[in-house]
Structure 1
């Protein structure tokens, strides 16, 4: 059940090296003009779209639209036009809702920029521009977002920011994993012990900002799909409007606290929860140094810190529950 933990960080360095290719594509789109940037996704890629949109929300006047592929196929949206640029990521390039949505968007006349890991997949031909490089989805989407911000004059530190990431990010995130490992081991052991006593109780994940998309993905794509553990994701700002009444002393809750503008929302939930539950975990990215990264840049990177911590949790959950993460009962095994 052990996995190779070194490969993802070599992959991250390779993803950072895609920047010049990304810049060429985005620069061409910007020169041609666009009326909106559409972030298309489903499942985990929808979560990444949410992260990218909230990152851009307070930084650009360019309309940014998050489109769920299945919902777009059923009722569309008039805000997306032939002058829109559609950005998406796909691991397999075969998800039927994504293929159908891209077919419809292509027919509309949109320009499609896809990070499709498999270049000869059914999704790739619909791309106006396609880059095939595996993993690091959020990094690639944020790379596009940052280039648009630069072209708008909203990112004066763009070149220095990227130079720092290319030199230090992979190394620093590996150090985060090492630092987080003892905590991750305790978390997994506690989760296993709690599950024996309360097998039907869901684990609540609470987050905001760019961390909300991460929590959405971690609850659904990791805890539920890969670990077969019941989970629910809540936005920090919504927790106090219903969900707090369902939490009791035995409810397991994890709060992800990032470093962007939404940090106070998660701090509020984290301050309240010790009054109610005995099973609270707080993962605050401020607890993990990035020695090579200026503090001003951490807000745009804290979701990567969270992913590094969760990587170690996954390894130890896999071991505690004796459940390999790559097996599925139903997903892509039964027709649906």
Structure 2
């Protein structure tokens, strides 16, 4: 279905009718699409008492499918282009076990848009609201499902409110941060190596910023680090010459990021802080704000990579291997 036809109540009705009580939720994709699903896996793991969750790269899911995968499983599969071979294979593996398979794709003619799945075809334009993109679509489905399965669940209204508010918050934050991103790129676009850190539900955004925005799209050498793990090895390379980008969350894991910042202020010199507390997230309820750092930081990574592209003149779409050679 097109995202304009999507109705969360109807979909959860269908999930419960076809598969009954959901016990396991799996999030399966590759690269940027996998990154889009991480915060939802984190959400289930932290908030649901009736469901277990796992976040698994597509080929790994195909080769070593979870033992619990089956009738009482919900599987989210995402592929932007819709034809990534291992992701289509993963969707088929899940489908054949009787799991309820939701596929996301931008391409209505793709294999992931096959009617045998419960496919959602989303738009991906500059004016597409966050609530119509995979991250918030997944939040909406899971929020409704947990609400129905767990009478004691307390985040239902707060999550709905956050999903409604986050697009406006992000658009203002991007506008307010644009000049800061330009200044960063002027200073550091030619840096030989950088580290990117974040924590909690937004951890995958440092992962995505590194492997997709910079390694894939700019051919830049970089490394992603969970802020909590910074002090268990990576901080030993900190000095005045190494560059860091620290994405500081608002919510329960903020103290992890603050500890990393204090260390950088004392021992480092080159670091960029993208702070969610300066981006408008205070209007989202404290009990669920953790989950909205992820879409915010994704859009910040897009802003920064575009600023870097403008300096390097390396087109974001240029590839050396992906879709060019056999691999």
TM-score (norm 1): 0.85
Q: Is the 8 A contact 1:103 1:126 kept in 2?
A: no
Task: Give the 3-state SS of the residue equivalent to 1:301 in structure 2.
Answer: helix
How big is the shift at 1:156?
4.9
Q: CA 1:165–1:65 in 2, change beyond 3 Å: closer, same or farther?
A: closer
Higher relative contact order (CA 8 A, sep 6+): 1
Q: 1:11: which partner in 2?
A: none
**Residue of structure 1 equivalent to 2:101:** 112
Q: Runs in 1 of length 4+ with deviation above 6 angstroms?
A: none
Taking the aligned partners of 2:242 and 2:115, their CA distance within structure 1 comes to 45
Contact 2:113–2:119 at 8 Å: present in 1 too? yes
Cα drift, residue 55 of structure 1: 2.1
**1:172–1:291: 8 Å Cα contact kept in structure 2?**
no
C-alpha root-mean-square deviation of aligned residues, in Å? 2.4
Residue 286 (structure 1) shift: 0.2
Pick closer, same or farther for the CA change 1:47–1:311 going to 2, 3 Å. closer
CA 1:232–1:262 in 2, change beyond 3 Å: closer, same or farther? same
Show structure 2 runs of 5+ residues with no match: 125-132
Task: Report the alpha carbon displacement of residue 309 of structure 1 after superposing the two structures with TM.
Answer: 2.7
> 2:139 matched to 1:153?
no
Q: Name the CA distance, whole Å, in 1 between partners of 2:211 and 2:218.
A: 10
Q: Does 1:40 align with 2:1?
A: no
Q: 1:216 to 1:160 in 2, by over 3 A?
A: closer
Deviation (angstroms), 1:45: 2.0
How do 1:80-95 and structure 2 match up within 5 A?
Answer: 80-95=69-84
TM-score w.r.t. length of structure 2: 0.87
In structure 2, what is the Cα distance between the partners aligned to 1:260 and 1:95?
Answer: 35
Question: Per-residue CA shift, 1:12-44, capped at 9, x if unaligned?
Answer: xx96x66x5233112321352222111112212
Q: Which residue of 1 aligns with 2:308?
A: 317
2: CA distance between counterparts of 1:334 and 1:292?
Answer: 47
Unaligned residue ranges in structure 1 (runs of 5+): 1-13
Alignment match of 2:197 (pick from 191, 206, 219)? 206
Worse-matched range after superposition: 176-185 or 296-305: 296-305
